[in-house]
Structure 1
Amino acid sequence: MRRTGKRGARGEVLAKSGEPPRASLYTEITDRIIADLERGCVPWVKPWGRAKASLGLPKNAVTGRSYSGINILILWGAVIERGYAGQYWLTFWQALWLGGNVRKGEHGTTIVHADRFIPKDEKERAREEEAEPRAVPFLKRFTIFNVAQCDGLPEHLYGQPEPLPERAIIPQAEALIRASGADIRIGGDRAFYMPVRDFIQLPPQPAFLDQINYYRTALHELGHWTGHPTRLARDFSGSFGTKAYA
Structure 2
Amino acid sequence: MSNHHHRREAAAGRASLYDEITDKIISQLEAGRLPWVQPWGSAAAKAPLSLPRNASTGRAYSGINVLILWGAVVEQGYTAQSWLTFRQALALGANVRKGEHGTTVVYADRFVPDDEKKRARDTGEDARPVPFLKKFTVFNADQCEGLPQDMAASPLPDPALIEPRVEALIKATGIEFRIGGDRAYYLPTQDRIQVPPPQAFFEPINWHRTALHELGHATGHPSRLARDFSGSFGTRKYAFEELVAEISAAFSCAALGIVPTVRHADYIGSWLEVLRQDNRAVVRAASLAGKAANWLLGHLPEEVALPIEVDVDQNRRAA
TM over 0.5: yes
Identify the residue that residue 284 of structure 2 maps to in structure 1.
Answer: none
TM-score by length of 1: 0.61
Q: Structure 1 47/77 Cα, relative in aligned 2: closer, same or farther at 3 Å?
A: closer
Of 142, 148, 154, 2:148 maps to 154
Matched, 1:25 2:53: no
Secondary structure of the equivalent of 1:140? strand
Indicate the structure (1 or 2) with the bigger Cα radius of gyration.
1
CA contact (8 A) 1:85 1:158 kept: no
Secondary structure of the equivalent of 2:106? strand
5+ long unaligned stretches in structure 2: 164-196, 204-252, 271-319
- Superposed displacement of residue 111, structure 1: 1.0
Matched, 1:172 2:200: yes
Of 122-131 and 42-51, more deviation after overlay is shown by 122-131
Larger helix proportion, structure 1 or 2? 2
Secondary structure of the equivalent of 2:27? helix
Matched, 1:102 2:100: no
TM-score by length of 2: 0.48
Q: Distance in 2 between matches of 1:53 and 1:86?
A: 5
- Superposed displacement of residue 170, structure 1: 2.1
Q: Distance in 2 between matches of 1:77 and 1:69?
A: 13
CA contact (8 A) 1:53 1:162 kept: no
Q: Distance in 1 between matches of 2:142 and 2:85?
A: 13
Q: Distance in 1 between matches of 2:260 and 2:17?
A: 29
State percent identity of aligned pairs: 55
Identify the residue that residue 78 of structure 2 maps to in structure 1.
Answer: 84
Q: Distance in 1 between matches of 2:125 and 2:199?
A: 60
Identify the residue that residue 70 of structure 1 maps to in structure 2.
Answer: 64
Of 129, 145, 168, 2:139 maps to 145
The one-letter amino acid paired with 1:53 is A
Identify the residue that residue 171 of structure 2 maps to in structure 1.
Answer: none
Of 70-79 and 127-136, more deviation after overlay is shown by 127-136
The one-letter amino acid paired with 1:63 is T
CA contact (8 A) 2:82 2:154 kept: no
Q: Structure 1 105/88 Cα, relative in aligned 2: closer, same or farther at 3 Å?
A: same
Q: Distance in 2 between matches of 1:241 and 1:125?
A: 41
- Superposed displacement of residue 131, structure 1: 1.6
- Superposed displacement of residue 118, structure 1: 3.2
CA root-mean-square deviation: 3.5
Q: Distance in 2 between matches of 1:110 and 1:151?
A: 20
Of 153-162 and 112-121, more deviation after overlay is shown by 112-121
Matched, 1:45 2:37: yes
CA contact (8 A) 2:81 2:154 kept: no
Identify the residue that residue 48 of structure 2 maps to in structure 1.
Answer: 54
Secondary structure of the equivalent of 1:53? coil
Q: Structure 1 102/2 Cα, relative in aligned 2: closer, same or farther at 3 Å?
A: farther
Report which structure shows greater RCO (CA 8 Å, sep ≥6).
2
Secondary structure of the equivalent of 1:113? strand
Deviations 1:162-220 (A, max 9, x none): 37847979211239xxxxxxxxxxxxxxxxxxxxxxxxxxxxxxxx8575853x72xx3
Question: How many pairs were matched up?
Answer: 182
Of 103-112 and 46-55, more deviation after overlay is shown by 46-55
Matched, 1:36 2:28: yes
The one-letter amino acid paired with 1:83 is G
- Superposed displacement of residue 142, structure 1: 0.8
Of 44-53 and 165-174, more deviation after overlay is shown by 165-174
- Superposed displacement of residue 126, structure 1: 3.4
Q: Distance in 2 between matches of 1:126 and 1:152?
A: 52
CA contact (8 A) 2:97 2:145 kept: yes
